[in-house]
Amino acid sequence: MPPRHTKIVATLGPASSSLEVLGRMIDAGLDVARLNFSHGSPDEHRARARLVRELALGRERPVGLLGDLQGPKIRIGKFAHGKITLERGQPFVLDVHCPVGDETRVGLDYPDLPRDVRPGDVLLLDDGKIRLQVDYVAGDRIHTTVLVGGVLSDHKGINRQGGGLSAPALTAKDMEDIRLAAELDVDFLAVSFPKNAADIYMARQLMRAAGGHALIIAKIERIEAVQNLEEILEASDGIMVARGDLAVEVGDAAVPALQKKMLRLAREHKRLTITATQMMESMIESPVPTRAEVSDVANAVLDGTDAVMLSAETASGRYPVETVEAMHRVCLEAERSQESSLDRELLDRVFTRIDEAIAMSAIWTGWHLRVKAIAAMTQTGATALWMSRINCGVPIFALTPDEHTRNHMTLYRQVTPILVSQVHQDRDEMLWEAEKILLERGIVAYDDLIALTIGEPIGVPGGTNTLKIVRVGQTLRAAAPPV
């Protein structure tokens, strides 16, 4: 498989939970498997997580696990016949106490919604397909007029145009799911609908209290999250550009520019990024993507996203393997056309940490010397993260003895994580071992130029302080016994 810098996240579901299909998805290029806690039982998630770990181990290829919390998605109740049709101009009531809906009213799963809305507010149902204008509120009933009608079915989501609903980011279900995520030892936890840094701090504390090691990914899908983006970036390990619910709150025309801004700011803050929602949605039913979807994925790659994500395409679609294959091809082609802006990105940069200075030196030197690869010996993954924030076109191989660190790096752009046994305490022996691993895996050949980074003393987190440029084989030949 040709090297690919952008990672692929795919959601597991009924279409992708068999040994055969999931194995083919991993072979096609899956990097991180997403467990969507909005659907499925705990036992189903346990079975999928176990299958991912077994298949990845058998292929000697790391595959990360991402647990995605449901969050406080406000939904309507159910209808007597499963769905209704709303016509423009007709009155319609959202009633907290309505057990079963009909053409005149429907229930709500969020009892505080009547206190969050005012006359004149526009409510968006089913990702904006249905639009209701609030006329007045009477107790626990919201009386509305249909602005845009259509078919409305059970349990569809509700947003208020412009955002501002008061639902907390972490529900009781989310707290239970965090404990499940810790039990499954997921590598990433995606927090849905956070409004500020406090929501991220709470999720991190709950994850650590449950014994989990997951990196925290904030899903940007509320208007408040856009307004508080800087503080959310500081509090999290990465963000997900969750374009579906975000588009409902800010308007679909505003999303492309926001996506570019969020990806740029995340790189500047040294945070991970996932671009998500409807990336190849037509492949739920079609074996090939549309040209617009190909352009959408390619643009996210060119904007510097760490990963692109598939949702229903792989969870319930007819072509989960073909979708991963198509995304792999698009990412590769976009990366080939991507121009390096290394000189501009490093201009006037101020380094405050030794490991950051070594990481940037390795990128700069490796790019100018056209090295075949950069190998980073890392305990926590910090050096590899610094390197991955800059597009240099040089593949980065991060060698670590820590399994959690190895799995966290499955989401780092242009980084291939490799688990090694730390058997040496001598720097030169460690570098020699790294060189042998790259040779044995066919990553480099004799006389290729490579850059190696390491820290002394060995095994100390954040201690990378050495950069060495070597020609592959010189050290090995010198160490070989005489014939």
CA-nearest of 66, 54, 439 to 242 is: 66
DSSP 64-114: EEEEE------BB--BTTSEEEE-TT-EEEEETT-SSB-SSEE-BS-TTHH
Say if residues 410 and 417 touch (Cβ distance below 8 Å).
yes
- Side-chain-side CA neighbours of 282 within 13 Å: the count stands at 12
CA-nearest of 168, 187, 236 to 35 is: 187
Q: How far apart are CA 203 and CA 455, in angstroms?
A: 32
- For residue 308, which amino acid is it? V
Q: How far apart are CA 236 and CA 216, in angstroms?
A: 6
DSSP 278-326: SSSGGGGT-SS--HHHHHHHHHHHHTT-SEEEESHHHHT-S-HHHHHHH
**Catalytic sites, residue numbers:** 34, 75, 219, 277
Q: Rg of the Cα trace of the chain?
A: 24
Roughly what angle, to the nearest 10 degrees, separates helices 42-59 and 172-184? Answer: 30
CA 63 to chain centre: 13
Counted residue by residue, the chain has a size of 483
Grouping H, G, I as helix, E, B as strand and the rest as coil, residue 21 is helix
> Which string of b and e fits 340-353 if b means at least 16 CB within 10 Å?
eebeebeeeeeeee
Say if residues 376 and 387 touch (Cβ distance below 8 Å).
yes
